[in-house]
Amino acid sequence: MSTNLVVLAILMFLVTYPTRAVGLLTPGLDRLPKIAFAYLQLVGPAVLAALAAVSVMVVVGDDDVPSFHVGIEWVAVFVALVIVARRKNLFLGLIAAVAIVAIARAAGLAEIPA
Amino acid sequence: MSIIVFGGASQFAAVGYVASGLAWPGIVLLTALLNARHLLYSAALRPWLREVPLPRRAVMAHLLTDEAFALSISHFRRIGRTDERGYWIGAIVATFIPWNLATLGGVLLGAQIPDPGRLGIDVIFPAAMIGLAVGLITGRRELVAAIVGAGVAVAVALVSSPSIGIVSGGIIGPLVALLIPARLAGETTPLVSLGTAEPPAAVGPPS
């Protein structure tokens, strides 16, 4: 990585670190009202589900325009979800998801998202 | 960059932006936007980590990624208490070290993999996130937060950008879920308890 890119990385760090630190380091957050704690308890499932949904349903093309994507990834992620819920085994769910996508793409049944 | 920024999505994006010649202020601004969801993570983890000394929390903050958050909050809720060592293991052993080793491996060997997309590796991230989300669902409120969060995220992402969508889903999902009256919240044991056969003892941070 060139020196210029190290500087860019440091600038990226300077805008990233505060987002990670503000909740952990800001004094007084311990005295939030109960409803705020109840809200924060719900952030985890909401953000993780949002990450998963956007990852498989939204594709950003070369023109930077997001578009709705329907593909084998939906099936793979759903199968992973079912396996995790029923078998309590995340690793098995991940293996199944990767296998579904790899087999479908190798067989020409699915394309790689842009 | 993997050590300094340690943010997968923003790193991928930055590579594309640099290659396309986007000006640095634009890259930095987009990085801030992409990583804005970490605000939610750090706020959500605060109740669990408030007893950890400030210097160590400052280091923890740098290691707070999607994966570190998901692994640690699942772990804390499963065992019903804070486990600082568990955070370090999730953040360093399971995330920081593999991410940097894989980055190095990609730099050295990536060109020899003809078509990584064919391997289906790209589906690991969403599958892992949904699996970890399932582990956090302990009642109707969590379920509603996850469903609404996902729906809002996709809808907003389609009209703006994925990062804005994810943050929107993370903010609005819990708000809608809180509208469910406490008597109907139906807090139960988690749908799954990943990696252990032990029943979960509690789902809230230590008071």
DSSP string spanning B57-90? HHHHHHT--HHHHHHHHHHHHHHTS--HHHHHII
Mapped onto helix, strand or coil, the DSSP state of residue B128 is helix
Close Cβ partners of A45 (under 8 Å, ≥ 6 residues apart):
B133, B136, B137, B142, B143, B145, B146, B149, B173
For every residue of A43-59, which 3-state class applies, written as one string?
A: HHHHHHHHHHHHHHHEE
Query: In what helix (H) or strand (E) does residue A66 lie, and over which residues does it extend?
Result: strand A66-68
Q: B13-45, pLDDT tens digit by residue? A: 787 678 777 788 888 887 887 788 888 889 989
Is B46 close to A57, i.e. CB distance below 8 A? no
This model's pTM is above 0.90? no
**Contact criterion met (CB below 8 Å) for A18 and B38:** no
Chain B closest-CA separation from residue A107 CA (Å):
10
Which pLDDT score, from 0 to 100, does residue B194 have? 43
CA-nearest residue to B173 within chain A is: A46
Which pLDDT score, from 0 to 100, does residue A28 have? 79
Which pLDDT score, from 0 to 100, does residue A66 have? 92
Mapped onto helix, strand or coil, the DSSP state of residue B153 is helix
Which pLDDT score, from 0 to 100, does residue A60 have? 87
CA distance B70 to A43: 11
As for the ipTM of the complex, it is 0.85
Q: How far is CA B110 from the centre of its chain?
A: 26
Measured between beta carbons, which residues in chain A are less than 8 angstroms from residue B1?
Answer: 1, 5, 8-9, 12
More confident residue, B80 or B197: B80
Measured between beta carbons, which residues in chain B are less than 8 angstroms from residue A44?
Answer: 44, 69-70, 73-74, 133, 136
Q: B43-66, pLDDT tens digit by residue? A: 989 989 989 999 999 999 999 998
Question: Which amino acid, residue B173?
Answer: G
Is B44 close to A23, i.e. CB distance below 8 A? yes
Q: B109-159, pLDDT tens digit by residue? A: 877 877 777 888 889 889 988 988 898 888 899 999 999 999 999 999 999
pLDDT at B202 over 60: no
* Helix ranges restricted to H, A2-33: 3-25
Domain ranges of chain A: 1-31, 33-106
